[in-house]
Amino acid sequence: MKRLEARLAALADALDKAEVVSADEFLTTIEEMAVIEKYYTPEQLEQLKARAEAVGRERIEEVQRQWPVLIADVKAALESGLDPADPKAQDLARAWFGLVNEFTGGDPGITRSLKNMYENESQVRGTDVAPLRPLVEYVNKAAAAAGITLPGS
């Protein structure tokens, strides 16, 4: 009951922030919430909420703008055949892991939950994750070559 109440409160908040919400947007929101709750414990969701409040909306928006650029850079490196051991590839891995670590707050459990979600779901927050999987593999190879790891990985 409490989980349902929290889910509905979050949905109501999302709807309050939008001027007009279509039935599709409403259903998509519910689906996204179900996927997230499938991978994160209630305690982890509370940690993520507190993390978002600590980081602030401005930084979250900045990171959301950084991801597409970083993804494009990693894709270009992979497609060009840049060796994961190359310092440029390792710098990309550091940037990638830095953004992930910023989201997770360095929590190993949240890192594992995030990893599991992206490995097992076909869509996360409206994004097709299949094209990201080779990029993640490349980043992981570059990170291994650089000797860097994420907590919980």
Q: 4 near 42, Cβ under 8 Å?
A: no
Least confident of 124-128, 135-139, 144-148: 124-128
Q: Each residue of 45-89: pLDDT tens digit?
A: 889 989 988 999 899 899 989 999 999 999 999 999 999 999 999
- So what's the pLDDT on residue 7? 65
Q: 85 near 145, Cβ under 8 Å?
A: yes
Q: Each residue of 85-117: pLDDT tens digit?
A: 999 999 999 999 999 999 899 999 999 999 999
- Which is higher by pLDDT, 136 or 123? 136
Torsion of CA 58, 119, 3, 126, to 10 degrees: 50
Q: Is the pLDDT of residue 20 over 60?
A: no
pTM exceeding 0.85: no
Provide the 8-state DSSP code for 150: -
Least confident of 55-64, 73-82, 120-129, 138-147: 120-129
At residue 137 the predicted structure's pLDDT band, cuts being 50, 70 and 90, is: very high
At residue 25 the predicted structure's pLDDT band, cuts being 50, 70 and 90, is: low
- So what's the pLDDT on residue 1? 46
- What are the sequence ranges of the domains in the chain? 57-146
Q: What DSSP letter does each residue of 97-138 carry, written as one string? A: HHHHHHHHTT-HHHHHHHHHHHHH-SEETTEE-GGGHHHHHH
Token pair for residue 5?
Answer: 């109440």
Q: What DSSP letter does each residue of 49-104 carry, written as one string? A: HHHHHHH-HHHHHHHHHHHHHHHHHHHHHHHHT--TTSHHHHHHHHHHHHHHHHHH
